[in-house]
Homo-oligomer: A and B are copies of this chain.
Amino acid sequence: MSPLKSWFNIPHGSHFSLANIPFGIISTASSTSPRVAVAVGDHALDLDAFAANNGFSALSTIQPHQAVFSQPSLNSFAALGRPVHSVVRKYIQSVFAEDTPYPEVLKTNSALQKQALLPLKEVKYHLPFKIGDYTDFFAGYHHAYHCGVMFRGPEDALQPNYKHLPVGYHGRASSVVVSGTPIHRPQGQFLENPADGKKVPIFSQCRKLDFELELGAFVCTPNEQGKPVSIDEAENNLFGIVMMNDWSARDIQAWEYVPLGPFNAKNFGTSISPWVVLIEALEPFKVAGIENDAETLPYLKHKSKENVFDIQLQVDLKTSAGNSATLAKTSGRNLMWSFSQMLTHHSITGCNLQPGDLLGSGTISGTVMAERGSMLEQSDNGKNSVKIADEERKFLQDGDEVTFTGVCGADDDALVGFGQCTGRILPAVDLGL
């Protein structure tokens, strides 16, 4: 399929080609109310302004719902359901198409172009959804395996349940922030020398601060409490995907996690990329995930093999001294469980999911060091150092900035990208303790 050509200047290599049309929440210095936008090339199309100026005049189905574009979150738009998202995406593609059937809407309407097409450089991002509940999974097979080898050896690397269900836990919704928000180094309780046998914890700044390279999926369609979502329906309940950094305090985690799982180690902040890429836009990039040699119970069984997305992911670290390095390159194909399987499993007991709920994939790593999506794996839990020019890292230091980049496709004029998810570590807050 040849790329969609536009009358609008979309730079080669842009993550936001016409094949994409991701949704987000933006504001600007001159108009500070957060509102809905899509990204096109180096610009955001402000859908609130677009709707208010008859932008949707040729799309009668969306007109009764136009108020959703003035909302400070995507929740209301998402709740309209995937058929509506698809119609809006395709309409916007057609508005930007070189041979648009609606030239008067934007192509020849320079007043609206000026008002609604905002350079991304001038845009402030907000959290795309008001997140009700956030659940984090552990579906990255190689990450689960590496961590298991690290802590339990290769014989017991994977827990007995790993290949039978997408292991997950409830995360903290309130502290999910949009890319660009700095994160204070957390403080908490942990064992100073876990190996010395003394189980006397200290209170301290985290010394093993880490990132986790993940994907996150947002729910659009709710299910009632008591009514599970079947594996065949699950993907229809998903709005789209973001990149996610599940910041982790490894020393706190190691001490607290028995027997109820990670808590303080993860609750201080989770960063997501600002643009949510619709599942529909990712459809061409579906691939088979990591093969599961265990028998999958029928309630989790997909009809086809291609259920994860070949999103090319990259992790870069930039130090406060200005040095930087690419730490890892990997792909969304390294998941053993799909977001549909996560959603179905999540709901199988009758748990209700709601528009704006966020599902995290778990850390995505490949098989070799250059593909590993956390410092825990990169440094073998602090045993080795990672080189960043003439600096070294075992875990993150204050001032370090971690940036994820994600993109699908090889045609520079038809990329479906996620932009970046970035966050910098600020020093711990002085508690006067």
What residues of chain A have their CB less than 8 Å away from a CB belonging to chain B? Answer: 132-133, 135, 138, 159-161, 164-165, 167-175, 177, 184, 186-189, 199-203, 206, 225-228, 230, 249, 252, 255-265, 267-269, 295, 297-299, 345-346, 348-354, 357, 426, 429, 431, 433
**Chain B contacts for A203, CB-based, 8 A:** 297-299
Shortest beta-carbon distance from A271 to chain B in Å: 12
Q: Is the CB of B227 within 8 A of A188?
A: no
Q: Which residue of B184, B200, B225, B228 contacts A269 across the interface (Cβ within 8 Å)?
A: B225
- In the bound complex, do residue B226 and residue A267 qualify as a contact, i.e. CB atoms below 8 Å apart? no
Q: Are B348 and A264 in contact (CB under 8 A)?
A: yes
A147: nearest residue on chain B (CB-CB)?
B259
Q: Whole-angstrom distance from the CB of A167 to the nearest CB of chain B?
A: 6
Given contact pairs A170-B171, A201-B161, A189 touches B257 in the complex (Cβ within 8 A):
no
Apart from A161-B256, A265-B349, A269-B350, list 9 A-B contacts with CB within 8 A: A133-B172, A159-B258, A161-B258, A165-B201, A174-B351, A175-B350, A226-B429, A228-B431, A252-B349
Residues of B within 8 A of A135 (CB): 263
Chain B residues with CB under 8 A of A261: 169, 257, 259-262
Q: How far is the CA of A264 from the CA of B171 in the complex (A)?
A: 13
Contact A160 B199 (CB under 8 A): yes
Residues B350 and A268 in contact, CB atoms below 8 Å apart: yes
Residues of B within 8 A of A350 (CB): 175, 184, 186-187, 268-269, 429
Q: Is the CB of B132 within 8 A of A173?
A: yes
Q: Is the CB of A186 within 8 A of B349?
A: yes
Q: Which residues from B are CB-within-8-Å of A167?
A: 256, 259-260, 263
Take A249-B349, A252-B349, A349-B249 as given contacts and tell me if A170 and B263 are in contact as well, using a CB distance cutoff of 8 Å: yes
Tell me if B299 and A433 are in contact (CB < 8 A).
yes
Name the residue of chain B whose CB is nearest to the CB of A252.
B349
Chain B residues closer than 8 Å to A132, beta-carbon distance: 132, 173-174
Residues of B within 8 A of A199 (CB): 160-161
> What separation, in Å, do the CA atoms of A164 and B13 have in the docked complex?
53
Q: Quick check: A349 and B160 within 8 Å, CB to CB?
A: no
Question: Contacts A164-B189, A189-B297, A258-B159; is A351 near B175 (CB within 8 Å)?
Answer: yes
A-B contact pairs, 27 of them (CB 8 A): A132-B174, A133-B172, A133-B174, A160-B258, A161-B199, A161-B255, A161-B256, A165-B201, A168-B260, A168-B263, A169-B170, A169-B260, A187-B348, A200-B295, A202-B297, A203-B298, A228-B429, A230-B431, A257-B261, A261-B261, A261-B262, A264-B345, A267-B346, A267-B349, A268-B350, A299-B431, A299-B433
Min CB–CB distance A345 → chain B (angstroms): 7
Shortest CB distance A334–B (Å): 19
What's the least CB distance linking A52 to chain B, in Å?
Answer: 29
Instruction: Give the Cβ gap from A129 to chain B, nearest Cβ, in Å.
Output: 13
Chain B residues within 8 Å of A177, by CB: 225
Residues on B with C-beta less than 8 A from A260 are 138, 167-169, 257, 261-262
In the bound complex, residues from chain B placing their C-beta under 8 Å from that of A165 are 189, 201, 256
Please, which residues of chain B bring their CB within 8 A of the CB of A226? 184, 268, 426, 429
Of A138, A175, A259, A348, the most chain B CB neighbours within 10 A belong to A259
From B186, B259, B349, give the contact of A187 (CB < 8 A): B349
Please name all residues of chain B whose beta carbon is closer than 8 Å to the beta carbon of A349 when the two chains form the complex.
Answer: 186-188, 206, 249, 252, 264-265, 267-268
B-chain residues with CB within 8 Å of residue A298 when the two chains form the complex: 203, 433
Whole-angstrom CA separation of A138 from B171 in the bound complex = 17
Give A172 Cβ to nearest chain B Cβ, in Å.
6
Minimum distance in angstroms from A152 CB to a CB of chain B: 9
Of listed A200, A261, A269, A431, residue having the most chain B CB within 10 A = A261
Across-interface contacts of A255 in B (CB, < 8 A): 161
Q: Given the complex, which residues of B lie within 8 Å of A133, measured CB to CB?
A: 133, 172-174
Q: Which residues of B contact A225 (CB under 8 A)?
A: 174-175, 177, 268-269
A349 to B173, CA, bound (A): 15
